[in-house]
Amino acid sequence: DSGVTQTPKHLITATGQRVTLRCSPRSGDLSVYWYQQSLDQGLQFLIQYYNGEERAKGNILERFSAQQFPDLHSELNLSSLELGDSALYFCASSVAEGGGQENTGELFFGEGSRLTVL
């Protein structure tokens, strides 16, 4: 158990709909990362928050948004869903703000939210 909790585990919805994925980081971790994993693209970085503020942005679509709340939990909002958005969405947390010498690159991943768009 990594200590990172993600809900829901599975979600099935229709094209054009909006969903919210939730993540609770490990106790004490200030950074939250969101990743999308699909068979053809692998693990793609979407966005990172550190202590409530956006820290880094990856290949996140404009239809997607995220935020980190004062209690450090985070939500990823996916709107106007398309078939191609079907994927596993992982949340990860770490103590450090970013990479570099203070960060060995150890992210603690949740078990993911599997989104199916029909």
Partner 1 sequence: QKEVEQDPGPLSVPEGAIVSLNCTYSNSAFQYFMWYRQYSRKGPELLMYTYSSGNKEDGRFTAQVDKSSKYISLFIRDSQPSDSATYLCAMIGYSGAGSYQLTFGKGTKLSVIP
Q: Quick one: how far is CA 103 from the chain centroid? A: 19
12 binds partner 1 per the rule CB under 8 A = no
25 binds partner 1 per the rule CB under 8 A = no
Tell me the closest approach of the beta carbon of residue 109 to partner 1, in angstroms: 3
15 binds partner 1 per the rule CB under 8 A = no
Q: Which is nearer to partner 1, 1 or 70 (CB)?
A: 1
Exactly one of 16, 43, 80, 82 binds partner 1 (CB under 8 A); which one? 43
Nearest Cα to 97, choosing from 48, 46, 59, 44?
48
- What would the DSSP string read from start to end of 19-77? EEEEEEPPTT--EEEEEEEETTTEEEEEEEEETTEEEEE-S--TTEEEEE-TTS-EEEE
Q: Which is nearer to partner 1, 55 or 65 (CB)?
A: 55
Place of tokens 């990743």: 35
42 binds partner 1 per the rule CB under 8 A = yes
Q: How far apart are CA 62 and CA 79, in angstroms?
A: 9
Q: Which is nearer to partner 1, 13 or 108 (CB)?
A: 108
Name the site residues for partner 1 (rule: CB under 8 A). 2, 4, 41-43, 45, 55-56, 90, 92, 98-100, 103-112
